[in-house]
Structure 1
Amino acid sequence: MSADIYPHLKASCADAWEAYIHHAFCRQLANGSLPEDCFRHYLTQDYLFLIHFSRAWALAVAKAEHLDEMRHAVTVTDALLNHEMALHVKYCAEWGLTEDQMAEVAEDPANIAYTRYVLDRGHSGDLLDLLVALAPCVIGYAEIGAWMVKHPDTRIEGNPYRAWIEMYSDAEYQEVAAGARGLIEKVAERRIGAEPIASGRWNTLRQTFETATRLEIGFWDMGLAPARG
């Protein structure tokens, strides 16, 4: 039996999770009303985010205590650096953003706060702390994509953000998220047992997940305020 920790983590900060998943930025993406300058700002910051996200997964290799954990982390790191980044750059080019331009943009404070928090949890804690900090992004985007394609207010035809919606709702990304969830459950079982809430570490893990979720909300807020910074 695995430690099914993810549903407990979401339930522990249900209001914040709801605010993240159904944020105004996401709703406007879904119905196509998001201003294009907001989306370009988000794309640029997301490029910078992916660099630190890759660092966090590389750190997971060092934090892993078992070969299967190391192999999973290496696979994700390789996918991010050698595939996801290239796809992101290609997609951004369709919005008139070059990689050189994005590399020169200053990181928004919300981006710094989020990425450095995740890295700090990884450096100061163990692999489970790091994976819990990463979970709102990895698994959360899959949930966002899934509800977007099912929601009656979502506009697919003629939506300038259709490719974004399809990317996070399609089977390939849903499988990536499922793999990340499976890894968290496996790592949790090995380190705290099959009943996460009963663990002495539960309160810290819960706080980590909630903080990362609130930082995700801050990232969406940043996307709606492209002139800030």
Structure 2
Amino acid sequence: MIFCEEVRTETDLYFEGSFNHPFVKGIVDGSLPIEKFKYYMMQDAYYLKHYTKILAIAASKAETNDDIVFFLDSCSYINESELVLHRTVFKELGVTEDEINNFEPAPSTYNYVSHMYNAVHNGGVEEAFAAILPCPWIYQEIGEKYKDSKPGVKLYQEWIDIYSSPELKEKIDFQKAMMNRFAIEHPLKIYLLKSHFKKSCYYEWKFWEMSWTLENWKKEVEYYEYV
């Protein structure tokens, strides 16, 4: 089996956990409380801001012109398209300037971003890519799985439409081929590449859980204090 086939099998628990998480299911059937979606979108905007920076750092480590162009184009696309979308959605969700200025990433968001920064700063471009690939891949599979859903909520329908597009499928197929190439070029790093990939898959699942529970920096401490 090639790298992406192997790692997809090995991380199926996290993919299935994402497919069946009540947060995702709530988007699909329209039952998700809008305040949880608002929380998710604010956390996601923070995540994407740093995702673009990580892509830019990866571009600086890439060794071929094609790879440099890929990372810079991806960085520009996310910054111009997805972050603009988030700002538009922020208006629909009634996100205030005070909420934006006083925003603090939840523990899981902070840990996920830190994990990706660790991969890109301390490893080569192949390690960075292993850490950032699970995000678009998992979203694409969610979109494909639920492409025929009709949640009856405008924001949720738009979310499904974005991640179920044929264009995204083409991009993910290209990225999987790219990851396979990196794995072939760095056979002594297979375990490390899989480790980065698996951690990101775990954090993708945690992102749903975090948004479902409205995770913050006090909840777990308060729970263990009184349990």
The TM-score bracket by the shorter chain reads 0.7 to 0.9
TM-score scaled by length of structure 2: 0.87
Instruction: Give the 5 Å matches for 1:86-125.
Output: 86-98=84-96, 101-125=99-123
In structure 2, the partner of 1:15 is 13
TM-score scaled by length of structure 1: 0.86
- Cα deviation for residue 23 of structure 1 reads 2.0
CA offset digits 1:166-216 (Å, max 9, x no partner):
111122333332332232233333x23xxxxxx332222222111111111
In structure 1, the partner of 2:162 is 167
C-alpha separation between the residues in 1 aligned to 2:18 and 2:126? Answer: 22
C-alpha separation between the residues in 1 aligned to 2:11 and 2:147? Answer: 24
AA at the equivalent of 2:93:
W
Distance 1:98 1:80, change over 3 A: farther
Distance 1:99 1:135, change over 3 A: farther
- Cα deviation for residue 85 of structure 1 reads 1.1
Paired positions, count: 217
AA at the equivalent of 1:59:
I
CA offset digits 1:91-134 (Å, max 9, x no partner):
22211125773353111111000011011011111111111111
Contact 1:122 1:129 (8 Å CA) reproduced: yes
Contact 1:89 1:99 (8 Å CA) reproduced: no
CA offset digits 1:129-160 (Å, max 9, x no partner):
1111111101111111110124xxx3344565
Q: What is the percent sequence identity of the aligned residues?
A: 24
RMSD: 2.0
C-alpha separation between the residues in 2 aligned to 1:184 and 1:24? Answer: 30
Distance 1:201 1:90, change over 3 A: same
AA at the equivalent of 1:166:
D
- Unpaired runs of 5+ residues, structure 2, are 218-227
C-alpha separation between the residues in 1 aligned to 2:37 and 2:158? Answer: 13
